[in-house]
Structure 1
């Protein structure tokens, strides 16, 4: 067989800003020059990039809108221009393709493909949000319109670098003993959370809440006292610094604060110094490297997890059918070398990715370095590599995708040898007892709980960049599964353990797992995870401890009724509420005293609205369970009485507000989530005097919220959607004598039906809550039987934490 070489089909070049600033808007033009064969009518030229790289989706319909795509021929041929989100092969799914529809290209004639054409008023093409030194465009040619693409080589490099310095981040452990030495990690970041270096930056930092500065000793070697009760540290051009040898001798709750010379400020996650309680270690057991569907090789992904994200433990979970034998060997080697007992724990693993009817997505973890890759199939694996690659191996693509000179010639299509393990019961039968673990999760394919192995599956993953899946918890508990809860990022972009930039199908902030009571070694963490001694968060380092009938989270205990539940939480933002559930049933909700402390523990100042002024907090969350793309669309009609106009509202991120069709104004939110645009001052007027507004948002199980100032005693709200409604006040107790200055009771509406999980909450406050530390005790008169008690903590910023259940057996008295 004679192979067609890429140089017969032409060459490609790139014009545009390189390197690319993360999240920027720009214009990039790919110039294709036909080779000696020219290009036939119906022939196509394509441009592809890695799915996880997250370029904005090109469009051809609106010249003034972002991501406008055009193509022009420097010849006589006519062109058809299209973009397919999954037009090419995994992992290079996104595909811009240009078809010759009238005529042909002579040798040497050119086609210009412009991403972000601004000539018609478009702001340009949105660049990827995450730093990626391996970014690249792949240019393809389908010479005769046969459907067979040939990849030109070399690829066009488009490395992505951080944007402008926008914020400071300070990260410390969650719990240390008095006198125990610990580290603080200071990062400079752009608006999207990328490490933003480039210059040396001086930071003043100090202990928060007015704590005695002498309690911090000794001074880190990189810091020096300035005689003002603060220290200074220089963050090098790399954008981060790790301060070792810190020590606090006096028990208490601490925060570190920092401020750069240009005014950027930060408050650390809470640090609890105590001789009591169990350790807290943070990890991300679910991210992808470029050996599968991610952007960064396994070695880099684990380095980022440890040194940039500051994780204590991590695991790589590439889809099984993406990984061939040599790539699996590379992953095993990277994990073994990254594992440093006492400092950082790396677990070997992969994602078993069988279809949902056969079990669905399960993360597989091994405690040892020699675990076997038990694939669900061989859809993408390739054993033999093309020897003709001349991209230097730096394009960021999987090794098996680095096709060079002779693409499509046969050898690259051969699959890895071996057998498949499908359905999931085949995996159950071949995993080593006690040395392997499965964690069902919701991702591309949700796990099917019709399959369950109680020994191999002590945990389920309940949140990730795909969203928060409370329905997953409900279903597991309905099936009497004794499982704990984990969170994982499912990061594909090279940011394991860091809050993700929500975009496209990855709309959630991520996920983390906190392990209680373990040491930073494989064996210790393994035992804690096996005993469900963990809780999940949506990516934030909230401190949480739950005790039920004397049992710690994850345990099984016996008790008489009533059951006593105690919860202690310290948030990274003020706590809005704590929820106690018995199985699916919502037993109790605890909110901090709305008239209570409003002082920030970090700054000592009041940062919320004026105390005594009433505010209505409206929040909503929802998701489409068991859907691959699960985001729930919220078209909301809001009718208000006795409330301030929208310019006085505090509007959460990604909520759009506008007037109703019969109103006189509209508006939107600015980048900080605050209302912008004076035209939004009034909504559509109703005959009863109420004003109407339209809200629009998407959610993936994480709350969106608004704070609305109340102007009088008779304020009211109606929240209406096609699938869920809420009225506040509820109307209960109508006709009863009203106490002066009485606070209307919180109202909650919830549905889980017709393929929708949705919740709306409305509550009245005297100001934005500021309490980051909260305790609650409940007494539940539970009926006889076994019950799963679990607690969810919700912060005002929407982040949440969920404790693994305590399973309580209540015998008849």
Structure 2
């Protein structure tokens, strides 16, 4: 029995879907409260549960995402009653995009009321951040002008529809257990006691079918096994069972083990077909056509010699810390819903209880499946930016010690002396242990401070994209100080959906990223070597095949580690190198070759030398331009937690009209980005370093556009524009709006070119790519660090 199958047998209950090996799977629905890192009261009025009262809930036990619902919570006072100015509190988890409660408009969504059976009046106060992590969202009901006797009640109606409100708006994502925690301050001291033995909860499930997805890897060798992933998603990216169908399969090349017809009706909304292979070199694409006319494309998958591509998302959290859903759900989703090859769980260290650290290490050992599904143990060191900022820590083996930045939400203090309060402390403790570890610099709420400290032996990569947005600066800021790190992208998803982390309608502004590992085999040893050799590239979501190599006419010395930190590392003489390599060149020039194969159109490829674009590739010329005008906005406010930039505006067309309109990379369907009438469009969206916008196909050879936004205005005459874009700089952090003309039809999905790059006489010459895709996504390669001194 393989590791993941054994994990299924041990951790999951009988029932649910079956994977291709036939293992029954029903995911553990809720999170063990004893594993949640949180602040717990040390002072309580007494140990008798009857003192504080009880609460029960009346409402549906299962709801659909983005539906409106009503829940009634009835609190009954205990032996102490409820004193004048005392209160009860309903607390919910921070990570949710459900409707914000309100008490002012009885006709609007999310209206809340409360009434008591005894004397006095009730005052309601809602606060999005009124509680302690992870129970930040609070509704507090204060008793005023009287008191309640033992046995009297307060009834709270969440989503009161009696005066016209549609009810309480549910979240956009699956939740195995949406919990209402009820607390009581019965003696008006400000000390809110969680009611014992009270667990008010319901599940949130997926909505109707929105689209089908087919997922293939991007590169395998002839005869090497791979899997095809097939998934049905609702509007918000949740795997849904509401779209069963039968697909007929067409393949561009013969595939061993691939059926001609796939009956797709899993309860989980996803199906994994393992053991497929292609005998000869070539390019595999699949077309799956349903009986109802749905068309699903998968690939392209390159079949060729050399290193294979393995895709991973190594960064996410669950309900045991600040996120949602269980750790079991997380690993199942990674393997069987987003079809990852590599993953890890990265909880905030100051919230990891010893019991959860032990469980996490047990699970990573059990689900790790060499050759198929590589799982790394680890955690997120979450020190403040002032002392280093967020960093991901990965271990090759289980059983390593955890060195937290603090015990902020960990009650157990047995290992308090092991805390690493600064990044420098963490480096020292990891070096002092016989443990094999690598680290990423991460930009989340607390962004990594790359100027505070850097240990090249441990910190091998920077995360340039996650659900928090896109952050090229975490890489480029390090060029002048010769930081030689690789590029990765992950999700840092908090919803238990590694590899397919949609932002929903919350403060996360981007779709989670993916990292491609260039490896000979899918094992922990190979993953560690790929990270340390910087043989990785990251994308903002799509799986694309990227090659970038440099030919050195006069040769050079390639170092397997960073010689600045390890002068005696293994090295070899070469005339060619690839992404991530550190090479001392004997000459002053390199000929760089670039090739990209993508499942979507390629808008442009920027070959960069440090921050300079050496070559800009486009698959079209002036003569190819049509009536399509693309408007894309991007950037952020600043580097910290509140970096989201709101883009509001209007496009007005004169002397023409909009014949066709299409949003580009709009990740939140509820954000306005739409055509209004025949000659205008409006938008009210958010970016956080990433790109978003729209395409408009215009009618009228003399059409002009007046674009007005909250960050500036722009007037365009498309007929006067060539392939060069018009850019409106908008301040902030790389905040800008770009207008460009494109061909009317889809852009090419393949690209290849060569360009010469000069190697500086002193310092590093980082050579890397930024690829911009037609669907608004991007990809970034690890730089080749070429130098002569």
- Structures share fold, TM-score greater than 0.5: yes
Rounded Cα–Cα distance in structure 1 between residues aligned with 2:110 and 2:481: 46
Any conservation in 1 of the 2:665–2:776 contact (CA below 8 Å)? no
Report the CA distance between 1:293 and its aligned residue: 2.0
Rounded Cα–Cα distance in structure 1 between residues aligned with 2:782 and 2:135: 38
Any conservation in 1 of the 2:400–2:435 contact (CA below 8 Å)? no
Change (3 A) 1:594 1:39: farther
Paired residue secondary structure (1:89): coil
Report the CA distance between 1:31 and its aligned residue: 2.2
> Residue in 1 aligned with 2:323?
294
Paired residue secondary structure (1:328): helix
> Residue in 1 aligned with 2:737?
760
1:11 maps to 2:54:
yes
Any conservation in 2 of the 1:201–1:234 contact (CA below 8 Å)? yes
Q: Which shifted more, 443-452 or 171-180?
A: 171-180
Matches of residues 261-340 of structure 1 in structure 2 within 5 Å? 261-274=291-304, 276-340=305-369
Q: Give unmatched runs, 5+ long, in structure 2.
A: 1-43, 552-575
> Residue in 2 aligned with 1:216?
255
Paired residue secondary structure (1:769): coil
Report the CA distance between 1:146 and its aligned residue: 1.5
Paired residue secondary structure (1:427): helix
Report the CA distance between 1:790 and its aligned residue: 1.4
Any conservation in 1 of the 2:619–2:747 contact (CA below 8 Å)? no
> Residue in 1 aligned with 2:427?
428
> Residue in 2 aligned with 1:770?
747
Any conservation in 2 of the 1:644–1:708 contact (CA below 8 Å)? no
Report the CA distance between 1:500 and its aligned residue: 1.8
Rounded Cα–Cα distance in structure 2 between residues aligned with 1:200 and 1:670: 24
Matches of residues 522-671 of structure 1 in structure 2 within 5 Å? 522-549=524-551, 550-557=576-583, 558=585, 560-593=587-620, 613-636=626-649, 638=651, 640-645=653-658, 648-652=660-664, 654=666
Matches of residues 488-507 of structure 1 in structure 2 within 5 Å? 488-507=490-509
Matches of residues 116-265 of structure 1 in structure 2 within 5 Å? 116-152=159-195, 153-197=197-241, 201-207=245-251, 211=252, 215-219=254-258, 223=259, 225=260, 231-265=261-295
Q: Which shifted more, 17-26 or 718-727?
A: 718-727
Rounded Cα–Cα distance in structure 1 between residues aligned with 2:696 and 2:338: 36
Any conservation in 2 of the 1:48–1:137 contact (CA below 8 Å)? yes
Picking from 766, 777, 780, the partner of 1:799 is 777
Any conservation in 1 of the 2:120–2:143 contact (CA below 8 Å)? yes
RMSD, aligned α-carbons: 2.9
Any conservation in 2 of the 1:652–1:673 contact (CA below 8 Å)? no
Report the CA distance between 1:674 and its aligned residue: 7.2
Report the CA distance between 1:522 and its aligned residue: 0.9
Q: Which shifted more, 551-560 or 522-531?
A: 551-560
1:105 maps to 2:148:
yes
1:22 maps to 2:23:
no
> Residue in 2 aligned with 1:784?
761
Paired residue secondary structure (1:286): coil
Change (3 A) 1:182 1:637: closer
| CA offsets 1:659-695 (integer angstroms, 9 cap, x no match) | xxxxxxxxxx977987365xx3455xxxxxxxxx754
Q: Give unmatched runs, 5+ long, in structure 1.
A: 226-230, 384-413, 597-610, 656-668, 684-692, 731-740
Matches of residues 682-721 of structure 1 in structure 2 within 5 Å? 682=679, 695-717=683-705, 719=707, 721=709
Any conservation in 1 of the 2:82–2:187 contact (CA below 8 Å)? yes
| CA offsets 1:743-783 (integer angstroms, 9 cap, x no match) | 52422537595x43213222112314332222233334565
Any conservation in 2 of the 1:654–1:673 contact (CA below 8 Å)? no
Rounded Cα–Cα distance in structure 1 between residues aligned with 2:246 and 2:755: 47
Report the CA distance between 1:128 and its aligned residue: 2.3
Any conservation in 2 of the 1:85–1:95 contact (CA below 8 Å)? yes
Rounded Cα–Cα distance in structure 1 between residues aligned with 2:48 and 2:175: 29
Report the CA distance between 1:359 and its aligned residue: 0.6
Instruction: Return the structure number with greater strand share.
Output: 2
Report the CA distance between 1:168 and its aligned residue: 1.9
Report the CA distance between 1:427 and its aligned residue: 0.8
Matches of residues 65-84 of structure 1 in structure 2 within 5 Å? 65-84=108-127
Rounded Cα–Cα distance in structure 1 between residues aligned with 2:424 and 2:597: 41
Rounded Cα–Cα distance in structure 1 between residues aligned with 2:545 and 2:737: 26
Report the CA distance between 1:559 and its aligned residue: 6.3
Report the CA distance between 1:52 and its aligned residue: 2.5
Any conservation in 2 of the 1:562–1:779 contact (CA below 8 Å)? yes
Report the CA distance between 1:442 and its aligned residue: 0.7
TM-score by length of 1: 0.82
How many matched pairs?
Answer: 716
TM-score by length of 2: 0.84
Rounded Cα–Cα distance in structure 1 between residues aligned with 2:753 and 2:708: 33
Rounded Cα–Cα distance in structure 2 between residues aligned with 1:725 and 1:428: 48
| CA offsets 1:350-402 (integer angstroms, 9 cap, x no match) | 1111111111101111112121100111111023xxxxxxxxxxxxxxxxxxx
Rounded Cα–Cα distance in structure 1 between residues aligned with 2:208 and 2:653: 40
Rounded Cα–Cα distance in structure 2 between residues aligned with 1:710 and 1:562: 45
Any conservation in 1 of the 2:671–2:683 contact (CA below 8 Å)? no
Change (3 A) 1:581 1:4: same
Rounded Cα–Cα distance in structure 2 between residues aligned with 1:672 and 1:186: 28
Report the CA distance between 1:515 and its aligned residue: 0.5
